[in-house]
Amino acid sequence: MSMLYHYQQQLDKLNQVQQQRQIPSLSHQGSQVIVDKQTLVNISSNDYLGIAADPTLQQQFLSSINSSDTNIRFGSSSSRLLTGNSNELEQLEHDLEAWFATAVSADTNVKQPTNEQDNTDTQMPSALVFNSGYHANVGLLPALTKLPLKTLILSDQLVHASIIDGIRLSRCDYQIYRHNDHQHLRELINAAGAEYQRIIIVTESLFSMDGDYADLIDLVAIKHSDARVELYVDEAHAVGVLGEYGLGLAEQTGTLMQIDYLVGTFGKAFASMGAYVFCHPTIKAWLINNMRPLIFSTALPAINHAWTRFVLAKMTDYVSARQRLHQMSSHLRAVIAHISPISAVSDSHIVPYILGTNAATLAKAMQLRQAGFYALPIRPPTVPKNTSRIRLIINAGISDDEFEKLLNAL
């Protein structure tokens, strides 16, 4: 196959600039990973609350499952629209709606319904579950924009690859605003001609590479400044971590009811698989009719949803784990701010240690590994050139001793 030569040549080029990706071979032992026979503390995982690393929780779940229950299946055999739906999946959506309602009713800032407000601010949203965050983001925008309305999508410069793919598949006009630069965003809205009937702003709430937040309160203000504007927020990294009930930054900032499409995922703090959107019930019905990754992909198995429900039931109890996570993170950020040659903007449990070159980053990762920590270098094209970094990710499962050791190693 003569094509192989061309592939190999390109791979060699990546290798020369230390940018060839490889799937690391590893196994897990609680919160530690075993790589090349070395046991290392995992400071690269998205298991923010330490749930995936907790074997007793898994045992608890398994013993709560009735093994003769024929509804708890390990495969769903088809799309939800055919025979892939399950009781667990429907219950999960109800549980999500109840979770949302609890957080909203606890929020004293939520405005009570008045006649002046439009429907979207007072209607409790419905939850719709997807197979993954990738499915959600790739499918939502193309489905939402399948109306005969001219739409402009405005997205933050640093949104996740799955959102970028969703924008492309929507084939709508789109513009990118500078990261978290709402001045720029306002300019783009003001410049949007009258031909645009809708403007959808898309952002993450907690950005994965820098660990900084979007200003959701200001985004809501921007939304209210122009009747054409809708808000789409991806909380993949904030769910489970922020807010009294763990709903994310929207809960923490009291903006739950103001976000039109609120996406969260189960792969990170939830230690499961899947994703959801909270949206108006009419939108949910529309998505069921138009969203391709929902319609044309086999649903996750009921056993997976049962586990997600098991974790969701505990989510509001993780208050002290969240506090511990925030304390460790702020300590780590202070240390990194002190030693880092390039200042970072993190305000969360994701703390980039930006070293600049690939070589310096790889050397630091190796040094941390020798000290017993599994930290992964992040290089272009995932991050901009000359901002190669080690992404330190704190999780609540890291012990005090391990944390102390990490600070010393840094």
Ligand X SMILES: *Cc1c(COP(=O)(O)O)cnc(C)c1O
Residues that bind ligand X (CB under 6 A): 132-134, 137, 160, 162, 204, 208, 234, 236-237, 265, 267, 275
Min. distance of Cβ 399 from ligand X in angstroms?
Answer: 26
Min. distance of Cβ 137 from ligand X in angstroms?
Answer: 5
Min. distance of Cβ 241 from ligand X in angstroms?
Answer: 12
Min. distance of Cβ 65 from ligand X in angstroms?
Answer: 23
Measured from each CB, the residue nearest to ligand X is: 133
Extract the tokens encoding 152: 């402009």
Q: Which C-beta is closer to ligand X: that of 84 or that of 166? A: 166
What is the rounded distance in angstroms from the CA atom of residue 49 to the CA atom of residue 217? 26
Extract the tokens encoding 286: 């529309």
Q: Which C-beta is closer to ligand X: that of 134 or that of 318? A: 134
Min. distance of Cβ 388 from ligand X in angstroms?
Answer: 19
Q: Which C-beta is closer to ligand X: that of 274 or that of 377? A: 274
Question: At which residue do the structure tokens 């993954």 appear?
Answer: 132
Q: Which of 300, 308, 245 is nearest to 271 (CA)?
A: 308
What is the rounded distance in angstroms from the CA atom of residue 213 to the CA atom of residue 203? 10
What is the rounded distance in angstroms from the CA atom of residue 169 to the CA atom of residue 344? 32
Q: Which of 223, 268, 366, 199 is nearest to 47 (CA)?
A: 268
CB count in 10 Å sphere of residue 293: 21
What is the rounded distance in angstroms from the CA atom of residue 347 to the CA atom of residue 249? 12
Which 3 state secondary structure label does DSSP give 134?
helix
Q: Which C-beta is closer to ligand X: that of 107 or that of 204? A: 204
* DSSP conformation letters of 296-344: SSPPPPHHHHHHHHHHHHHHTTTHHHHHHHHHHHHHHHHHHHHH-SS--
Strands (E), 172-292: 173-177, 198-204, 229-234, 261-265, 275-279
Min. distance of Cβ 6 from ligand X in angstroms?
Answer: 30
Min. distance of Cβ 391 from ligand X in angstroms?
Answer: 12
Q: Which C-beta is closer to ligand X: that of 275 or that of 376? A: 275
Q: Which C-beta is closer to ligand X: that of 137 or that of 395? A: 137
Q: Which C-beta is closer to ligand X: that of 164 or that of 188? A: 164
Q: Which C-beta is closer to ligand X: that of 264 or that of 410? A: 264
Q: Which C-beta is closer to ligand X: that of 298 or that of 357? A: 298
Which 3 state secondary structure label does DSSP give 194?
coil
Q: At what angle do helices 87-106 and 302-315 cross, to 10 degrees?
A: 20
Min. distance of Cβ 134 from ligand X in angstroms?
Answer: 4
Question: At which residue do the structure tokens 């590893």 appear?
Answer: 26
Sheet of 229-234: strand order equals 126-130, 275-279, 261-265, 229-234, 198-204, 151-156, 173-177
Min. distance of Cβ 136 from ligand X in angstroms?
Answer: 7
Q: Which C-beta is closer to ligand X: that of 132 or that of 170? A: 132
Q: Which C-beta is closer to ligand X: that of 162 or that of 329? A: 162
User: Over the range 231-268, which residues count as b (16 or more CB within 10 Å of their CB) and which as e?
Assistant: bbbbbbbbbbbbbebbbbbbbbbbbbbbbbbbbbbbbb
* DSSP 8-state class, residue 268: S
Min. distance of Cβ 190 from ligand X in angstroms?
Answer: 28
Which 3 state secondary structure label does DSSP give 30?
coil
Min. distance of Cβ 274 from ligand X in angstroms?
Answer: 7
